[in-house]
Amino acid sequence: MLRHNLGMKIIALLLAITAWGFTRISDPIEEVEIMFDVDVRLSEGTSLVNQLPPTKTVRAYVSGPVSRLERLSATGLKVILDGRDIPLGESRTVHPRLERRFTGVDLEFDPNDFTLTVDRTTRVEFAPEELGEGVLPPGYFIEERIGLPTVVSVDGAASLVEQVDRIVYRVNYSEMTGSTELIVEFIPINAEGHDVQNLTITPGTSDLGFSLRPSLALKTVPITPDYQGNPATNYALTSVSIDPFLVELSGSADALEAVQSVRTEPINLTGKTASFQTSVSLLEPGEGVALSISRATVQVEIEQIDTSFTFEDLLIDKRNTDSSYSYVLSTDRVDITIRGAPDRIANVSSDLIRPQVHLEGLGPGTHDVQVSVALPSEVRSDRISPSTISVTITQIVIPPEETPPDDSGEGGDGNGEEPEPDPETQPPSE
């Protein structure tokens, strides 16, 4: 079979080799680096919580004929991260791929894998708030903000949307010299003021016009923090400080005359058990009055409420004594004052308070020792009276045993008893 039409087969092979060589010369093999946009695909009703690494593009090292590489570069293909099979709340490793097959080239992606986490999709609406930096030019106030949407929608993973405390847009007042138009971006932030990523904001931006007018008067007044609710049981608000302490007002002289301070939005203290810091909005004090800043930082100090109770004449327990010594205390009773939460102090009885002195290592003589006290949990010692006492230590002396009488001497009967008198040798009785 190999010999059949052998000449024609040899000619065909030579032509193929020639064509391959010509192709390699006219369309050589090369390796290039191409950047692709990353497109994450998720199931309906789910949203991306996290993507690691968070890059929006991926680098690909592509090798193949120059003509194929040029066609690939011109397609505008995206790299797909397919997360449609990831269960809610789980993280999975996903490998990138081109959104459709492209033959004739070899690709190697960098990074070669991503970690995706998804959650159910939810939506919440917020009224946008202004975060201003710097101050307005002296003698001016913002009369109107034109184009500000009343609400901004936040869409995304429920676990991320729950973190959003408010939607803000940032404005630098120092850059305003008159009526100004700015493109502002709406940003979701959490209660600590940090941006929350991987959310869809609608609208994402807005053309906002600021109408500045010269004020007829300026006035500086203090900022008064306002709060609502009460801390947790046995806790109390001890102090509130605010930064800045003063705010500059601008407006008509009549409008400013009645303003003595500017209040903040109420700070919620309900159930608080620890000090905290928060950023709050300032409330406009009246119509036609503009503030030089819109927010202030408030430091709230929350402390536990303590009460005390004194137990009198509690017996001191001597600890670590030596049986070969006797111990005499200058006083065997003390007064103990304890401190703690009222509900805890109310449940402490005297049998739970154990004053004691530790006497290990002390020899004969008089020594000053500290009185300590063993207490139940969640209470502490406030005062021990007296806190120092003296102890006199004496060695116990054991007396020697008595020597028994000698039963071998004269006048005895050998049994330790006196002999009866002989009547013949006794003098006659009178």
pLDDT score of 343: 81
Residue 421: CA atoms inside 13 Å, Cβ hemisphere, count? 6
Listed in sequence order, the residues at least 6 apart from 264 whose beta carbon sits closer than 8 Å to its beta carbon are 223, 224, 225, 226, 242, 280, 281, 282, 283, 296, 298
pLDDT score of 288: 78
Residues (pLDDT < 70) of the chain are: 1-7, 9-27, 215, 402-430
d(CA 196, CA 190): 7
pLDDT score of 75: 86
Query: pLDDT digits over 281-300, tens only?
Result: 999 888 878 888 999 999 99
48, burial (CB in 10 Å: exposed 0-12, middle 13-18, buried 19+): buried
pLDDT score of 422: 54
pLDDT score of 26: 55
Question: What fold, for 307-395?
Answer: RNA Polymerase Alpha Subunit; Chain A, domain 2 (2.170.120)
pLDDT score of 404: 63
d(CA 52, CA 324): 74
DSSP codes, 113-157: -EEEEEEEEEEEEE--EEEEES-PPTTEEEEEEES--S-EEEEEE
Selected from 2.170.120.40, 1.10.3720.10, 2.60.120.10, 3.30.70.2740, the CATH number assigned to the domain covering 217-304 reads 2.170.120.40
pLDDT score of 149: 93
The pair of structure tokens assigned to 410 is: 């004269």
Map out the domains of the chain as residue ranges: 22-120, 127-214, 217-304, 307-395
Query: pLDDT digits over 27-47, tens only?
Result: 678 888 999 999 999 999 999
Q: How many Cβ atoms sit within 10 Å of the Cβ of residue 120? A: 14
Residue 216's H or E segment, with its range, is none
Determine contact, residues 314/355, Cβ cutoff 8 Å. yes
Provide the total of helices (H) and of strands (E) in the chain, helices listed first.
Answer: 5, 34
Structure pTM?
0.46
Question: What fold, for 22-120?
Answer: RNA Polymerase Alpha Subunit; Chain A, domain 2 (2.170.120)
Residue 78: CA atoms inside 13 Å, Cβ hemisphere, count? 9
CATH 2.40.50.430, applies to 127-214:
no
Listed in sequence order, the residues at least 6 apart from 382 whose beta carbon sits closer than 8 Å to its beta carbon are 308, 337, 338, 339
The pair of structure tokens assigned to 293 is: 């800043």
